[in-house]
Amino acid sequence: MKVAKFGGSSVASAEKFKQVAHIVTSDKERKLVVVSAPGKRYGEDTKMTDLLIALSAKIQLGEDYVDEFGQVIDRYREIVVDLSIPETIITDIITNLQSLIDLHKNDPFRLLDCLKASGEDNNAKVMAAYLNHLGFEAHYVNPKEAGIFVSDEPGRARVLPLSYEKLPKLRERSGILVIPGFFGYSEEGNMVTFSRGGSDITGSIVAAGVKADLYENFTDVDAIYSVDPRLVEKPHEMKEVTYREMRELSYAGFSVFHDEALEPVYKLGIPVCVKNTNNPEAKGTFIVAERPHGDTPVVGIAGDKGFCNIHVSKYLLNREIGFGRRLLEILEDEGISYEHTPSGIDNISVIMREHQLTPDVEKRVFARIEKELEVDEIFIERDLAMVMVVGEGMNSTVGIAAKATEAFARAEVNLEMINQGSSEVSMMFGVKADALDRAVQALYNTYFNSMYSISYSNIK
């Protein structure tokens, strides 16, 4: 049994619905289908979710919202008409939207969350209707009915363990089950959305719940690339990547798969396959528990900006038991999460996401560090970027670090920081933000472009 999730671009139009239906019905194992709301059909198009946000805003302002309401309905209507599905489903959607508005009009925050969720919810109804129209047994399954119970935190709901008691029952149902992504229900019965990329989370929860053999994640690329395709022409496609590798890549800027979305399947070791709706024959990228490393210890290069570094130094710091702990405690008191703490003998750097350090917080943190830790020096370094070379098995390969640092040297990128722990999935380099693209390109060329590779045995 497979769970197939289709992202916004895969369900953006009637044409796409046809592709999806073909994909779903061409493999009997594809019993569970998770859909997003309709995405963009072309560059300047507006996503369904954004139409719904605009609708919510109008209602909140107490203004007339007929136009916005109409745009939402028209988007569904166009798909329904083009697919020749009975138009009664449009009436259902209108009724559904209006009832959400009536229910939550005095609670703008909840209204926004429910309207956003309705984008997926109603789209799932259309998908089920279309499959029926084609003559297949298919059922729309509301997340409450499916058993997706979540914490009541709109925009960042977390799945409750209870879900995994109910979800296995889906295995017993006949036909294709179409489940909307992006939200679940609180125990009080509210629709509550997950964070960004939430449909991926739904797919993963359902896959874990029914103990699927495979979780297929359909999007609009043939595979996950080894590097941001905006930076490199015709980048290498990853055939296999482990959960841990994928998580590191997501952390450092890969937006293709939300890292939180991997957790449910990771725990059960259910493989994920990222595939292209427009080219389902392409093998895609498999996200798995383990992969043979062979001669590809490195699977990807990622980079992300927006980091800063608080650097403290103190003579004989190294002798002070508790220094590091107390430093981290000060940051923790301010709710700051840190990324890495490279250190010398008498100094420690704390790397963190820069947005956390508002001027107020920075002032307080600096004052406390100076006073409580009696440091000799403290300063902040801004506009840093992190570049990561990711790959399991790197650690046991001689020369991986050499290739990376040499690539930086050739590209004249100065290394602000290197952080490689033992038994690592990744090597992390800190560079100035303005050197990020150059750094990523240089690393990519070194690991994936044989033209650039040098053999160490030849340098004597």
Binding residues for substrate are: 49, 120
| Interaction residues for a copy of itself, span 399-418 (CB under 8 A) | 399-406, 408-410, 412-418
Min dist. Cβ of residue 459 to a copy of itself (A): 6
Site stretch for a copy of itself (CB under 8 A), options 95-103, 132-140, 224-232, 329-337: 329-337
Min dist. Cβ of residue 427 to a copy of itself (A): 7
Site stretch for a copy of itself (CB under 8 A), options 146-154, 161-169, 215-223, 315-323: 315-323
| Interaction residues for a copy of itself, span 192-211 (CB under 8 A) | none
Torsion of CA 357, 359, 361, 366, to 10 degrees: 90
Q: What distance in Å separates the CA atoms of residue 427 and residue 289, rounded to the nearest whole number?
A: 20
Binding residue (CB under 8 A) for a copy of itself from 38, 181, 253, 430:
430
Nearer to a copy of itself, 64 or 329 (CB): 329
Binding residue (CB under 8 A) for a copy of itself from 24, 51, 157, 428:
428
Min dist. Cβ of residue 382 to a copy of itself (A): 11
* DSSP SS3 for 94: helix
Q: Any contact of residue 26 with a copy of itself (CB under 8 A)? A: no
Dig out the tokens for 277 from the structure.
């709706």
* DSSP SS3 for 318: helix
Nearer to a copy of itself, 90 or 330 (CB): 330
Nearer to a copy of itself, 66 or 398 (CB): 398
Binding residues are 5-8, 49, 120, 219-220, 225, 230
Q: How many CB atoms lie within 10 A of CB 335?
A: 8
| Interaction residues for a copy of itself, span 332-391 (CB under 8 A) | 332, 335-349, 379, 381
Nearer to a copy of itself, 60 or 420 (CB): 420
Half-sphere exposure of 362 (CA within 13 A, CB side): 17
**Number of residues assigned to the chain:** 460
Radius of gyration of the chain (CA): 25
Nearer to a copy of itself, 41 or 340 (CB): 340
Contact 302, 252 (CB under 8 A): yes
Partner residues linked to 3 by β-bridges: 32, 215
Nearer to a copy of itself, 124 or 389 (CB): 389
Q: Any contact of residue 434 with a copy of itself (CB under 8 A)? A: no
Binding residue (CB under 8 A) for a copy of itself from 44, 233, 321, 360:
321
What letter does residue 8 receive in the DSSP assignment?
G
Nearer to a copy of itself, 124 or 261 (CB): 261
Min dist. Cβ of residue 201 to a copy of itself (A): 13
Q: Any contact of residue 314 with a copy of itself (CB under 8 A)? A: no
Calculate helix-pair angle for 88-104, 108-133, nearest 10 degrees. 170
| Interaction residues for a copy of itself, span 91-110 (CB under 8 A) | none
Burial of 381 (0-12, 13-18, 19+ CB in 10 A): middle
Q: What distance in Å separates the CA atoms of residue 372 and residue 359, rounded to the nearest whole number?
A: 20
Binding residue (CB under 8 A) for a copy of itself from 319, 363, 371, 382:
319
Nearer to a copy of itself, 210 or 435 (CB): 435
Q: What distance in Å separates the CA atoms of residue 268 and residue 204, rounded to the nearest whole number?
A: 11
Counting residues that bind a copy of itself (by CB under 8 A) gives 77
Nearer to a copy of itself, 214 or 310 (CB): 310
Binding residue (CB under 8 A) for a copy of itself from 134, 328, 361, 378:
328
Calculate helix-pair angle for 66-82, 108-133, nearest 10 degrees. 20
Q: Any contact of residue 244 with a copy of itself (CB under 8 A)? A: yes
Min dist. Cβ of residue 418 to a copy of itself (A): 4
DSSP codes of every residue in 247-299: HHHHHTT--SS-HHHHHHHHHHT--EEEEETT-TTS--EEEES----TT----
What are the strands, taking DSSP E only, across 75-224? 138-140, 176-180, 183-185, 191-193, 214-219
Measuring CA to CA, which residue among 177, 178, 181 is closest to residue 197?
181
